[in-house]
Structure 1
Amino acid sequence: MKLRMGLQARFLVLMGVAMLVVLALVALLLNRQEQMRREVEGVSRQAMRTMIGQSLRRQGEVAVTQLAAGLTNPLYYSDLDAVGALARSAQAAPDVRYVIVFDEDGKVVHDGSEDIAHYGRHMDDAMAKDVIAATALHTQFDDRVMDVSMPIMIGQQRVGGVRIGYDMQAMRRLQEQSVDKLRSRLDTLGQRHVIWIGLLGAGLLVFGALSLWLIQRLLVRPIRRLAESAQEIEAGHFDTTTTADGRNDEVGDLMRAFDRMSRSLARHDREIRRMAYTDALTGLANRLAFRESLDERLAQSDTRQLALLFADIDDFKRVNDTLGHDAGDDVLLECAHRIESAVARVGGEDALLARFGGDEFVILVQGTDDPHDDVRTLATKLAEALVVDLGAPVEVQGRQVFLGTSIGITLFPEDAASGTTLMKNGDIAMYQAKVAGKNCFRFYSRAMNQAVERRVHLEQELRGAWDRGELSLVYQPVFRLVDGAMIGAEALLRWRHPELGFVAPSVFIDVAEQSGLIEVLGPQVLHAACSDAVAWQKVRKDPEPLFVAVNVSPRQLRNGDLPNVVSACLRDTGLAADLLHLELTETAVIGDELHASALLSELRGMGVRVWLDDFGTGFSGLSHLRRVPVDGVKIDRSFVADVLRDPDDLALTTAIIAMAHSLGILVVAEGVEKEGQYAILRERGCDFAQGYWLGHPVTVDEFLQLRR
């Protein structure tokens, strides 16, 4: 039986010997030598610092004691010449920075100079306070000087004192000189150790060379062969074979296992690529596959134009929210089939289609050699077909769902030179199609970039605007037409930016709605309006308290948490529920009547009043008012503006008032700016009105003053 010396055993033997030699002869000696050197140098430095410091302190105390004794009579008799002579004599001593003789009040009598520049000045340095207060020998230190002071006494009477300052740098220089000598001695000893370590290192080099030769023969060569095979596999050549050369050790086992792995990878490569490049739900190409194909087309395209269509299904989220994600998947499959059919019918043979994620699809079409059939015309035909096909109702769970699509189109090379920029431009154009009303298409233009950048900047500035105090509420009074009494006020949000100035509500409210910021701003506005309403109730007690009307966005309504938010605001502020009126646009309510009806019924059950805002501008109908529980409607200002000169607007306004009253619903007219409008609305039975003729929006302080 042939004995097997495994690679692991060989490696462990070599490494064990190497580790023993390195640890025993090199690492231990060097580490220990350096450690001992640091310890000796540190201990010596500390000992010398202590010894020199004590010596300097004793020297200073003796000197200041002798000087104080010699200064007693000259200071008592104010003999400045004698005082100066003694001070200069003391100042001439080594390492003395200053000598100061002072009187009992801490004023300088002599500083050892010829002209006594500081004579009569009160000592105000950092150590002076302790020096003046000292009644005996006193020593204190800082980073630069050691100050030794001694009061000068005649009997029990203190006539002054003297202080000597010693330079600490001298002590440090002496200390460093001693440490340098010690370091030199240690360096000499270290050099001897290095010689020995060099000899040991030479031995290690010989040993290392032998070890490297063995490792090269037994380990490196086989691993290099495996690495070359791995590079072949990485390049896509999965049929690479690796021979073990009859080795009966772990490397041989590894090489044989590597050979089996390469054959297995070749079998599964086709399945892996299919999974990596295909969307699991629709079976279309996914984002990764499309990007690779797009980059390849852009690299190959020299003269032909390309058009990228970025399609997003409109209001798809509503399907998931109302019917569930399973129904949403069914709708996505149907949309994918319709898009695939339209692309096959209109897009041409070279068209690429992929699901980019969620409800987004991308299509790449290529122009032909026919000059009359350029890529722009082809993209327009395909976009028109997609709008028609996806605008048709989708049957899901026994219900018809109407969606539509918004499509952005961008061209290569006119609009972009890279795939990333092309995708970005398509997304921007798609967003503009949504802004334009959805279910349509738009071509990219450079002006769109600027519009998107402005909108992004506006969104960034809007974040935190409430906390910075840039957003505020104003209140427009609402009056009853029968007797002209003020019965409430509508809360309106205003934004005054420090640089942009006054930003129109129609602009920033839309940004807040699209970005989702309205879900943060909405509760803040509601809470502030309820608090202000409580404040103005306290100004004057009326038999009929004033209500406050607050607008609620469609996004807040779809969120489903609106009743909890309203309940929390009423509880926190203490406002009566019947004094809070919530205003919702009719398009927001009609979009999902079942969901909206449930939420509005819950709000009305709390006592909150619900108004339908901008009534008449959408797809209003009596059937909607019957199915959606509301307390009143607000006639849009566009009807009120022409009620005096346009018979049609007068007829529509009269019909809305009559229709609402027949259902027991109150009516508010917006935008009353003329006395004639007020009179005709009162004549036709309108209940309430608001507008500039009746009262401009005012701040809460102005509204409180109006109440008074």
Structure 2
Amino acid sequence: MKIDKVVNALTHQFVTNDPLHQLFDAVNAISVQGYDEQRRVIYWNKGSEYLYGYSAQEASGQKLEDLIIPPPMQDAVVSAHTNWLNNDEEIPAAELILQRKNGAQVCVFSSHVMFINQYNIKQMYCIDIDLTDVKKAQGQAVFKEKMLETIFEAIPDLFFLMQEDGTIVDYHASNENNLYVNPDEFIGKRMFAVLPDEIAIKFQVNIALALKQKVMVSFEYELKLPKGTVYFEARINHVPQYEQVMVIVRDITEQHKSDELIRHQAYFDSLTSLPNRFLALDKLSEILKSANEHKVNAAVCFLDLDDFKKINDSLGHEVGDKLLIEAAARLQGTISDSGMVGRLGGDEFIVLLPNLTCAKSALAIIDKLLKNFREPFKIEGRELMVTLSAGIAMYPENGSSASDLLRNADTAMYQAKAFGRNTYSFFAKQMNVVIQRRLAIEEQMSSALERNEFELFYQPQFDVKNKHIIGAEALLRWHNPVLGNVTPDEFIPIAENTGLIVPIGKFVISQALHFLNEWQGSCKHEQKYTMAVNLSPRQFRDEELLRFIQNSLIDADVNPESLEFEITEGVLMSCHTNVVDILTEITALGINLSLDDFGTGYSSLSYLREYPFNVLKIDRSFIDGIVLNKEDFNLVRAIIAMSHSLGLTVVAEGVETKEQHTLLKQLGCDFMQGFYFSKPIPAKQFLDFSMNFDKK
């Protein structure tokens, strides 16, 4: 019998089921199949076509096990169907993995029902629901659950699920060392009854806040645990749909330590651990506010260590740092609870003295400080003497703001330095005149070079025996439109402190060498003049100094032997670490070195032996008294004799009278300069002076 005839015959047998088929035909989302007693397809709805991929025409007459049952299941399916037909053992509904037309697997929930038609023939209907999306959703849910479990285990936070009244219903802790008590002691109990009172109140207040404001709230607290004090951050979120509260607690101890370190670095000096400038000024503002409210006095003391720079440069920064640490400890030990000590930077300290009745109260403390610093410091087996200079500004007399008082105390400290150091000075209003002048000079000098305000004057140097000019000293002069003529004694120290001396010094070297070239070119006697130029301590820190000198000599076409650098004792002391190398290299170029202002320092004799000097200049302070003062006369005679024995040329500066000239000539002084011959004069006037002198 052909297949079409079989199908028609089968269909004819089941005509009684047409209404049921019409119902199933209307449902595309569910697969419904009908099978005869030989498990051949007698019905196949649209849902089955979508699910398994076979059309109704393709499926009709095909056996169940050959159509959608995977080979491993076929025997079991045939056996189950036979048992149902013969023994009335129903096939239970179950999840099954069946097979599509293309061989792909599909997961279904399969239910089965058995009908007996009017011909007494049994037919089985299968109703299959596609579980693909369900299984996918279940898989995602399981994955998310596992993922959350993994995340919970990885996160070190504590999680507490509570009722709105604070009763703990569940928790999670990957590290139970951060739990204040064991879980069996807090599950089912209110958190407020478990924690210490102070922390419990914080939780109670913040949970109430979260319930009221419907937003997450957070706060920090600390607990003493067996492992020590631990700092926590708690975040509280209300879950209104479940009438519960989620609390997440994080250990922020390391962050707290880092924040404390950052705060300490921001407010305290890293070397001495004293309050730094920022914290000191903040504390001073608090002191002034309190002093104003209680109508009392306060004092700001600006302290500076005397001669610290010499120790730091000569013995090294390591010794200098240890000295600063010891000095800070001595200051704190002296002040104790009567005030606050801070470090402003370098060797500058500040002492704040609140709640004073009068200036005498501050003076008693400062006197004690000065006395304690007169005792030597013992650093690395050395005894170092370092005294204090102190400037004192009183509130409200000397200022009402922290900045005014600090500035005025600083001014008073410089006055104490001028008094000879190792002393104190109270601020006086007239000191402001000095500081205002200094600030004005700094302001105007910052761009004086660009405005061409500097000019070189030249003072001739004379050969005593031959009575002719042998050279000149270049001296810097400054005329400013605002300040007028500013003396070198005023602007040179300020230029040194600000670092402007470096570009200004280069200007002097360049101008002096070009003038020397012009001067030598104008001389008809082919006289080999020399030019003396001063070098300051700050210039020796300039890494480009030697290269600049070499280039300047080449640019001006001047022989190095015609250039002489005058060096003061301050240069030798402030540049101790590299001065020998630099001076040696200068000498190697053929340039002469002169020790300036000899006799004003306490160790100049050792420098004559240690450094490669060619010339020694006797300071004018000794020349002034050479006629009337026997001691000065004998000292000058000894200096000249000693210098000649060392092969040095001697220059006397500040010669102003004929009597001085006569005595110096008798003592064998080589060269002289001073007002007796000529004051420093501008370049053009100097050339005229030189030419006229040569005609004599």
- TM, length-normalised to structure 2: 0.61
Q: C-alpha displacement at 1:260, in angstroms?
A: 3.7
* Alpha carbons 1:587, 1:619 under 8 Å: kept: no
CA distance in structure 2 between the aligned counterparts of 1:555 and 1:264, rounded to whole angstroms: 46
1:336 aligns with 2:324: no
* Alpha carbons 1:472, 1:494 under 8 Å: kept: yes
Residue by residue, what CA displacement relative to the aligned partner does 1:163-191 show, whole Å, maximum 9, x if unpaired? Answer: xxxxxxxxxxxxxxxxxxxxxxxxxxxxx
Q: C-alpha displacement at 1:333, in angstroms?
A: 1.0
Residue by residue, what CA displacement relative to the aligned partner does 1:554-603 show, whole Å, maximum 9, x if unpaired? Answer: 22235565433322322322211111111122343245656433332221
More helix by share: 1
CA distance in structure 2 between the aligned counterparts of 1:657 and 1:342, rounded to whole angstroms: 50
SS of structure 1 residue aligned to 2:247: helix
* Alpha carbons 2:520, 2:526 under 8 Å: kept: no
* Alpha carbons 1:352, 1:364 under 8 Å: kept: yes
Aligned position for 2:594: 611
Aligned position for 2:343: 355
Say if 1:263 and 1:653 are closer, same or farther in 2 by CA, change over 3 A. closer
From 269, 275, 283, give the equivalent of 2:273: 283
SS of structure 2 residue aligned to 1:446: coil
From 632, 651, 658, give the equivalent of 1:675: 658
Aligned position for 1:244: 237
CA distance in structure 2 between the aligned counterparts of 1:552 and 1:264, rounded to whole angstroms: 54
Say if 1:546 and 1:278 are closer, same or farther in 2 by CA, change over 3 A. closer
Say if 1:459 and 1:356 are closer, same or farther in 2 by CA, change over 3 A. closer
Aligned position for 2:160: none
* Structure index of larger Rg: 2
Amino acid at match of 1:441: Y
From 259, 272, 284, give the equivalent of 1:294: 284
More strand by share: 2
Aligned position for 1:483: 466
Say if 1:262 and 1:613 are closer, same or farther in 2 by CA, change over 3 A. closer
* Alpha carbons 1:366, 1:375 under 8 Å: kept: no
CA distance in structure 2 between the aligned counterparts of 1:500 and 1:243, rounded to whole angstroms: 68
Aligned position for 2:354: 366
Aligned position for 2:57: none
Say if 1:433 and 1:486 are closer, same or farther in 2 by CA, change over 3 A. same
From 445, 453, 456, give the equivalent of 1:462: 445
Q: C-alpha displacement at 1:491, in angstroms?
A: 0.6
Aligned position for 2:428: 445
From 505, 526, 532, give the equivalent of 1:522: 505
From 532, 544, 549, give the equivalent of 2:532: 549
* Alpha carbons 1:527, 1:569 under 8 Å: kept: yes
CA distance in structure 2 between the aligned counterparts of 1:597 and 1:400, rounded to whole angstroms: 26
* Alpha carbons 2:215, 2:237 under 8 Å: kept: no
Say if 1:248 and 1:578 are closer, same or farther in 2 by CA, change over 3 A. farther
CA distance in structure 2 between the aligned counterparts of 1:468 and 1:266, rounded to whole angstroms: 55
From 251, 256, 259, give the equivalent of 2:247: 256
* Alpha carbons 1:593, 1:628 under 8 Å: kept: no
Q: C-alpha displacement at 1:536, in angstroms?
A: 1.1
Q: Which runs of 5+ in 2 are unaligned?
A: 1-137, 145-208, 223-230, 692-696
- Across the aligned residues of Structure 1 and Structure 2, the Cα RMSD in angstroms comes to 3.7
Aligned position for 1:512: 495
Say if 1:517 and 1:481 are closer, same or farther in 2 by CA, change over 3 A. same
Q: C-alpha displacement at 1:647, in angstroms?
A: 1.9
SS of structure 2 residue aligned to 1:244: strand
* Alpha carbons 2:216, 2:238 under 8 Å: kept: no
CA distance in structure 2 between the aligned counterparts of 1:336 and 1:653, rounded to whole angstroms: 45
SS of structure 2 residue aligned to 1:695: coil
* Alpha carbons 1:590, 1:624 under 8 Å: kept: no
Identify the range of structure 1 (534-543 vs 686-695) with the bigger mean alpha-carbon deviation.
534-543
Identify the range of structure 1 (267-276 vs 611-620) with the bigger mean alpha-carbon deviation.
267-276
Amino acid at match of 1:589: L
Aligned position for 2:675: 692
Aligned position for 1:421: 404
Say if 1:298 and 1:497 are closer, same or farther in 2 by CA, change over 3 A. closer
CA distance in structure 2 between the aligned counterparts of 1:646 and 1:3, rounded to whole angstroms: 108
SS of structure 1 residue aligned to 2:676: coil
Say if 1:596 and 1:402 are closer, same or farther in 2 by CA, change over 3 A. farther
Q: C-alpha displacement at 1:698, in angstroms?
A: 2.2
Pairing of 1:35-46 with structure 2 (within 5 A):
none
Say if 1:566 and 1:398 are closer, same or farther in 2 by CA, change over 3 A. farther
From 402, 413, 416, give the equivalent of 1:433: 416
CA distance in structure 1 between the aligned counterparts of 2:488 and 2:368, rounded to whole angstroms: 37
Aligned position for 1:602: 585
* Alpha carbons 1:577, 1:607 under 8 Å: kept: yes
Work out the number of aligned pairs and report it: 478
- TM, length-normalised to structure 1: 0.60
CA distance in structure 1 between the aligned counterparts of 2:216 and 2:415, rounded to whole angstroms: 52
* Alpha carbons 1:408, 1:442 under 8 Å: kept: yes
Residue by residue, what CA displacement relative to the aligned partner does 1:588-627 show, whole Å, maximum 9, x if unpaired? Answer: 3245656433332221121111111122223255333222
Q: C-alpha displacement at 1:400, in angstroms?
A: 5.7
1:634 aligns with 2:617: yes
CA distance in structure 2 between the aligned counterparts of 1:402 and 1:597, rounded to whole angstroms: 26
Q: C-alpha displacement at 1:485, in angstroms?
A: 1.7
* Alpha carbons 1:622, 1:659 under 8 Å: kept: no
SS of structure 2 residue aligned to 1:245: strand
Pairing of 1:573-588 with structure 2 (within 5 A):
573-588=556-571
CA distance in structure 2 between the aligned counterparts of 1:223 and 1:559, rounded to whole angstroms: 68
* Alpha carbons 1:609, 1:630 under 8 Å: kept: yes
SS of structure 2 residue aligned to 1:633: strand
Residue by residue, what CA displacement relative to the aligned partner does 1:15-67 show, whole Å, maximum 9, x if unpaired? Answer: xxxxxxxxxxxxxxxxxxxxxxxxxxxxxxxxxxxxxxxxxxxxxxxxxxxxx
Say if 1:277 and 1:462 are closer, same or farther in 2 by CA, change over 3 A. closer
Identify the range of structure 1 (471-480 vs 282-291) with the bigger mean alpha-carbon deviation.
282-291
CA distance in structure 2 between the aligned counterparts of 1:524 and 1:268, rounded to whole angstroms: 50
SS of structure 2 residue aligned to 1:256: strand
Q: C-alpha displacement at 1:409, in angstroms?
A: 1.2
* Alpha carbons 1:410, 1:425 under 8 Å: kept: yes
Say if 1:662 and 1:229 are closer, same or farther in 2 by CA, change over 3 A. same
Aligned position for 2:551: 568
Say if 1:398 and 1:660 are closer, same or farther in 2 by CA, change over 3 A. farther
Q: Which runs of 5+ in 1 are unaligned?
A: 7-219, 369-373
